[in-house]
Amino acid sequence: MLVFGLVTVALMAQGFRTKTIVGRIWMGKAAAPNVQIDLQTSYGTTISTTYSDQDGHFGFSDLTGGIYKVSAVAQGFDPVTETVNLGESGDEAEVSLFLHAANSSGPAKPGPLSSPSLQKKALASYQQGRKLLDAKQYDQAIAPLTEAVAAAPLSAMAYNDLGSAYFGARKVPQAQRSWQQALRIDPHFAPAAVNLARIENDGNHWQQALKLLQKASGKGADTWPFHLERGRSEYGLQQWQAAFDDLNQALKLGAGTPWPQIYALRANLYVRAGMYPQARHDFETYLKLDPTGTLAPRAKRIVADMVAHGVPEPAP
């Protein structure tokens, strides 16, 4: 019987981001608390509902690009709706809603991105931070993203990106605090849950990682990073079939952006199942994608051992 060493995979993948809408609702010059805010498709179908907080702030996260309508309904006031095009405004758009008493025309309503100066500052800082983050200038991105969360403290997306900047700058404790704050704002925010789960998995805290992902699994979770981290958690907990299913889903959803370590991890599962040709194929795939990677020396030894023992390539 062939016995091959198992490879421990520690992924340090950069956090991923979705789109979000943040806003504030006003009643004259005063913020309007506890107002129902509906997020609708461009055709007027409501897909999510929230309520403004005591300062009139609200937000919707885990959105894809496209056109949305943000509507407010309050007794004694005319309904108000603004249109937001996330395809044009980037990954975060701001909207201000102004309530007017029923049967009162009131002043002309501003466009979706004309907002108070504080929120304009938040958006400008956020966009500057995002450009630096996308350019992997992590240290430089921290300052503008910190300004963004200070000006827009209810943006889970801004806190998530600030965490990614800290993480890229190797400031892990600060990254964790930022991602935890994102989850306090939105407990179901999948990107922050995935980023925190990655750290827990890297520390072999698989149960904690799985709990984080379970809370986020109902909203925006069907992405390859989510399935990857859940697969890593399940692998650590020896939930072999669940881990295999999630790793396969991660590879399916991440097609075109392969992460070599996934193949090394799945190869270990094939070894456990006695499926040595498939294991050899995955180890060799890993070596093709990352021939000088951290796991490459060990993977080469395992493949050489398999070849020496006559393990064939799997049938096409």
Per-residue 3-state assignment (H helix, E strand, C coil) for 159-178: HHHHHHHHHHCCCHHHHHHH
* Mean pLDDT of the region 62-85: 83
Residue with the larger pLDDT of the pair 153 and 225: 225
* Mean pLDDT of the region 35-53: 81
Listed by start position, the domains of the chain span 1-14+191-316, 24-107, 116-186
Instruction: For domain 1-14+191-316, give its CATH number from 1.25.40.10, 3.10.310.10, 3.30.1130.10, 1.20.120.1200.
Output: 1.25.40.10
Instruction: For domain 24-107, give its CATH number from 1.20.210.10, 2.60.40.1120, 3.20.20.30, 2.40.10.10.
Output: 2.60.40.1120
Reported CATH class of domain 116-186: mainly alpha
* Mean pLDDT of the region 80-87: 84
> Does the fold of domain 116-186 match that of domain 24-107?
no
Kindly indicate the confidence band of residue 105, based on its pLDDT and cuts at 50, 70 and 90: very low
Task: Please check the confidence at residue 113 and state whether its pLDDT lies above 70.
Answer: no
* Other Cβ atoms closer than 10 A to 64: 10
pTM for this prediction: 0.61
CA distance 225 to 249: 10
pLDDT tens for residues 120-131?
677 788 889 889
